[in-house]
Amino acid sequence: MIAGRSGNAQLVAALDRKASAFGLHVGQPLANARAMVPMLRVVAEDAPADAKLLERLADWCDRFTPFVSTDPPRGLLLDVSGVSHLFGGEKALLDRIRGELRRQDFAVRGAMASTALAARALARHRDGCVVAPGEESKAIAPLPIEALDLDEPTTHAFRRAGLKTIGQAAGRKRAELTARFGARLVYTIDTAFARADRPISPRRPLPDYCAERNFAEPIATEDVIRETLLSLAGALSELLEKRGEGARRLEAVFFRADGIVRRIAVEAGAALREPAAMVRLFKEKLAALADPLDPGFGFDLIRLCADRIGRAEALAQQFDSDAVRERELGFLVDRLAARFGKDRILAFRPRDTHIPEHAFALLPAQHAGAAEHSWKKLRGKGEAPRRPLRSFSRAEPLSLLRSVDGQYRIRWRNTQRLLTRIEGPERIALNWWRSGSSTSARDYYRAEDEDGRRLWLTRDPLSGQWAVQGVFA
Amino acid sequence: MPLGHAGADACLGGGLKRAALHEVFAQPGHETAAAGFAAGLAARLAAGKNLLWIRQDYCALEFGELAATGLLELGLDPARVLLMRAAQAEDALRAALEALRCRALGAVAIELSGNPKCLDLTASRRLTLAAEENSVAALLLRFTARIEPGSAQTRWRVRAAPSPSQEENWGQPRVEAELTRNRQGATGCWVMEWSCDDGCFRECEPADRGAVVSAAGDGSPSAALEKDRNCVAA
């Protein structure tokens, strides 16, 4: 038996079959239960662990349908529309799910019906039943009113009114029910009877396309995994090609024989369709994983899903070299991003601002998109660069000294240098209209020291503080 | 690929070989000049194709981040430059090998600081092989590094050179480039000027060092300093 704490009271949270045979029930104070059955073995409830286990089970159930939703604290809802024929019919599918979960030492109850609510009510009270469409009302009418999982006062009110089964409750006039319990209850009963439908929401967005392969004998070697990914990618690619589409996100789902599910996703900058390119991305990603893919006792199902679908032109149409080169470059960026992370491979994009430090942005090359502005050269013909090749993210403070003979010296990074030239200022107004910026303008100077090194200096006109903002080539 | 500097091109037998590894060592304190020289080489070698610049995170912290506006002012097209930030030298080399296999790129510049253990003779040979196979130029830009044996085609030691002081207009960026290793011929040392407009190197007369010019005018630093002093006095 499992005991949990609700408020200040220790209550019975869950019971096993033996304990319920003693007449204990969920929600009973723990002290009462102990008084009734002194040899009770009590385990403390661990709600987060339960939730995690439920998530893991939901992951495992992904092998039957991508449309899985959790129904906490201990229920799972699977939408099997359109997939049951793959497993030999509805009854066979239900029995297989129950059987396999039971083999993992879970106590399972399950039922199948056209609506989630009906299936849930039936699972609790008529384990293993499959209700054909249209038969819901007949099937759930004899179930006790508790099966609807209503809140405590409502259930109690029904019981007091002598309405013990769902059928009896639903037999009342709708107006009466609405007047007494509100429209919500009528809607609940309607959904239970399949007169209205409340969709279940899947745990994760459904992929646009997917391909999968089952293995009678779990596979574990790298070669077989790569071969499988390649053939799945080929299958996906065929699907995509039929519609002239490509995927910008791919996810490989590895179902381990012992129930653990691992998902690995890669992204592409442009819509992708070539199986070889897909597999190369996964190869890079798998090689760079901090915790490598552990096959354990082997994978018995591998699935490849394609997401973020976009138009993709067939490669054969692109004979001009520029487009091919663009594409090659895109593949390289994708591979580097898969290996090192997408924020490590960057592209420069111009920004519409006059402030030199913000004149360009470094964006992830995969998602940088087309430039919104054009690059503006500041230098006139024949002139030296007016912006430094390297700039510091934070300007480094510097002291500028003028010696007696009229020469300037700077002190930066603990060395003194003599300046041979200094030119400025180029005064640039800062965003004084924005709150938070204390100064309204900054002066920029170009300076060259005795060795020919050119520095890009700034000076705050208010404080008079000099700093090195960057270095010219 | 000719650099544009007659003396250097003659020494190199017509120019730099594209399908090869070239090393540029920065003299201490002249890292940006070396980066500018490498950018110039990369632009020449890439010949209009894209350029991938791989740099170690440490280099950006210590010597500043590569700035698109600076590349643009040097005459490179920032839209054709990709920047890869590598956490470690190992990552940088691995990424470089991967990138050198991509023929869509014209050149790959790898910016490393110090003498990482992973950059040994084998790694250098691998880079050379990858560059040769796909005819993508590989440029190793080394900051604060000792010279070690490697398989580079050419090796340069670069420092900034003073600009001609008499000019009113600041001259084009100048470097003193010393060719310390050349597999094909002699070595040499030249002062070169990078022509931002034409995108090539040019000969120039070395300027006399130590000439000091102070700019005059209201907006000059002296005026600013004067004002500061007044402020403090007030």
* Sequence-ordered list of residues with C-beta below 8 angstroms from that of A363, at least 6 positions apart, any chain: A346, A347, A349
Tell me, yes or no, whether A19 and A108 share the same domain.
no
Mean pLDDT, residues A3-11? 72
pLDDT at B230: 47
3-class SS string, A8-30: CEEEEEECCHHHHHCCCCCCCEH
Structure confidence by residue, pLDDT tens digits, A255-291: 888 888 888 888 888 888 888 888 888 888 888 887 8
Residue A347 located in a structural domain:
no
Residues A239 and A159 in one domain: no
Residue B207 is predicted with a pLDDT of 56
Cβ contact A464–B231 (<8 Å): yes
Task: Give the distance from residue A452's alpha carbon to the nearest chain B alpha carbon, in angstroms.
Answer: 4
Q: For residue A425, say if its preceding peptide bond is cis, omega within 30 degrees of 0.
A: yes
DSSP B110: E
Q: Are A169 and A189 in contact (CB under 8 A)?
A: yes
- Kindly give, in sequence order, each residue whose CB lies less than 8 Å from that of residue A414, ignoring residues fewer than 6 positions away: none
Q: Is the dihedral of CA A246, A337, A254, A260 positive or negative?
A: negative
Q: Residue A435: which pLDDT band, with cuts at 50, 70 and 90?
A: low
**For residue A414, is pLDDT > 60?**
yes
Tell me the per-residue pLDDT of A363-407, one tens digit each, with 9 for 90 and over.
898 887 777 788 888 888 878 888 899 999 888 888 888 877 778
Nearest C-alpha of chain B: how many angstroms from A274? Answer: 17
Do A279 and A306 belong to one domain?
yes
Residues A266 and A323 in one domain: yes
Q: Are B163 and B174 in contact (CB under 8 A)?
A: yes
Kindly list the distances between the CA atom of residue B25 and the CA atoms of A305, A308, A392, B148, B183, in Å, as whole numbers in the listed order.
47, 45, 21, 11, 17
Which residue type, as a one-letter code, is found at position B16?
L
Same domain, A28 and A143: no
d(C-alpha B108, C-alpha A203), whole Å: 43
CA distance A463 to chain B (A): 8
- Residue environment code for A51-83, b if the CB has 16+ CB neighbours within 10 A, otherwise e: eeebeebbbbbbbbbbbbbbeeeebbbbbbeee
B219 with A424: Cβ contact below 8 A: yes
Q: State both tokens at A447.
A: 């300076």
Question: What confidence score (pLDDT) does residue A4 get?
Answer: 67
Mean pLDDT, chain A, whole residue set: 84
Longest Cα–Cα distance in chain B:
70
Yes or no, beta carbons of B196 and A451 under 8 Å apart: no
Q: What is residue B111's predicted lDDT score, i.e. its pLDDT?
A: 93
Q: How many domains does chain A have?
A: 4
Listed residue (A77, A71, A25, A79) closest to A51, CA to CA: A71
Q: Which of B59, B72, B229 should be substituted to probe chain A, the one whose Cβ sees the most A Cβ atoms within 10 Å?
A: B72
| Nearest chain B residue to A402, by CA | B222
Average pLDDT over residues A42-62: 87
Report the pLDDT averaged over residues A32-48: 85
Confidence of residue B37 (pLDDT cuts 50, 70, 90): very high
What is the torsional sign of CA B31, B33, B34, B40? positive
- Distance between B10 CA and the closest CA of chain A, angstroms: 25
Count Cβ neighbours within 10 Å for each residue of A318-329 and write b for 16 or more, e otherwise. eeeeeeebebeb
Q: What is the DSSP letter of A37?
A: -
Min Cα separation A377/chain B (Å): 6
Which pLDDT band holds residue B91 (cuts at 50, 70, 90)?
Answer: very high
Domain coordinates in residue numbering, chain B: 6-233
Does A306 share its domain with A403?
no
Q: Is residue A115 part of a domain?
A: yes
Give the pairing type, strands A2-6 and B188-195: unpaired
Res. A310 pLDDT band, cuts 50 70 90? confident
| Alpha-carbon distances, residue A319 vs A313, A325, B222 (angstroms) | 12, 10, 62
Check if the beta carbon of residue B198 is closer than 8 Å to that of residue A382. Answer: no
Query: Pick from A192, A217, A234: which residue ends a domain?
Result: A192
Residue among A343, A362, A384 minimizing CB distance to B173: A384
Residue A344 has pLDDT above 80, yes or no: yes
Q: Which residues of A touch B73 (CB under 8 A)?
A: 377-379, 385-387, 389
Closest CA in chain A for residue B170: A384
Tens of pLDDT, residues A102-129: 888 888 888 888 888 888 888 888 888 8
Report chain A residues whose CB lies below 8 A from the CB of B172. 384
Q: Is residue A13 located within the same domain as residue A96?
A: no
The answer to whether residue B219 scores a pLDDT higher than 50 is: no
Q: Which of A301-310, A428-437, B98-107 has the highest mean pLDDT?
A: B98-107
| pLDDT tops 90 at residue B108 | yes
- The verdict on a CB contact (< 8 Å) between A383 and B225 is no
Residue-number span of the structural domain to which A36 is assigned? 2-45
Band (pLDDT 50/70/90 cuts) for residue B232 is: very low
Q: How confident is the model at residue B83 (pLDDT cuts 50, 70, 90)?
A: very high
Is B190:B175 a contact under the CB 8 Å cutoff?
no
Query: Rounded to 5 degrees, what are φ and ψ at A181?
Result: -115, -10
Closest-CA residue of chain B to A325:
B104
Is the model more confident about A262 or about A205? A262
DSSP codes joined into one string, A289-329: -SS----TT-EEEEEEEEEEEEE---GGG--SHHHHHHHHH
Please answer yes or no on whether A389 and B228 come within 8 Å at the CB atom.
Answer: no
**Cross-chain CB nearest to A453 (options B33, B79, B104):** B33
Q: Are residues A182 and A217 in the same domain?
A: no
Of A340, A374, A407, the one marking the end of a domain is: A340
Query: Would A154 be classed as within a structural domain?
Result: yes
Residues B106-127 have a mean pLDDT of: 92
Structure confidence at residue B216 (pLDDT): 39
CATH of B6-233, one of 3.40.190.80, 3.40.50.300, 2.40.50.140, 3.10.450.50: 3.40.50.300
CA–CA distance, A288 with A282 (Å, rounded to integer): 10
pLDDT digits (tens, 9 = 90+) for B136-188: 999 999 999 988 888 899 999 999 988 876 666 778 888 889 999 888 888 88
Helix (H, G, I), strand (E, B) or coil at A187: helix
Are residues A300 and A406 part of one domain? no
Nearest-10 crossing angle of helices A222-242, A275-288? 140
In a domain, A226, yes or no: yes
Q: Counting every residue, how long is chain A?
A: 473
Cis peptide before B162 (omega within 30 of 0): no
Contact B63, B31 (CB under 8 A): yes
A37 within domain boundaries: yes
Shared domain check, A85 and A41 = no
Cβ contact, residue pair B30, A453, below 8 Å: yes
How does residue B22 score in pLDDT terms, banded at 50, 70 and 90? very high
DSSP A403: -
Is residue A306 domain-shared with residue A233, that is, in the same domain? yes
Is residue A55 included in any domain, yes or no? no
Can you read off the two tokens belonging to residue B46? 């890439």
Interface contact B71-A348, CB threshold 8 A: yes
The packing angle between helices B89-100 and A321-340, to 10°, is 150
Residue A134 is assigned to a structural domain of this protein: yes
What chain B residue is nearest to A451 in terms of C-alpha separation? Answer: B162
Chain B residues whose beta carbon lies within 8 Å of the beta carbon of residue A356: 69
> How far apart (Å, rounded) are the C-alpha atoms in residues A355 and A314?
43
Specify the pTM.
Answer: 0.74
Q: Is there a contact between A383 and B72 if contact means CB atoms under 8 Å apart?
A: no
Interchain pair B163, A445: CB under 8 A: no
If asked whether residues A235 and A278 sit together in one domain, one would say yes
- Model pLDDT, residue B231: 43
Which residues in chain A touch residue B65, judged by CB atoms under 8 angstroms apart? 362, 390-393
Is residue A61 scored above 80 in pLDDT?
A: yes
Tell me the shortest Cα–Cα distance from B188 to chain A, in angstroms.
20
CATH number at residue A36: 3.40.1170
**Token pair belonging to A288:** 């760079």
Q: Is residue A90 situated within a structural domain?
A: yes
Interface test with B, best of A339, A389, A404 (most B CBs within 10 A): A389
CB B42 within 8 A of CB B50: no
Cβ of A425 and B219 within 8 Å? yes
Q: Is residue B110 predicted with pLDDT exceeding 90?
A: yes
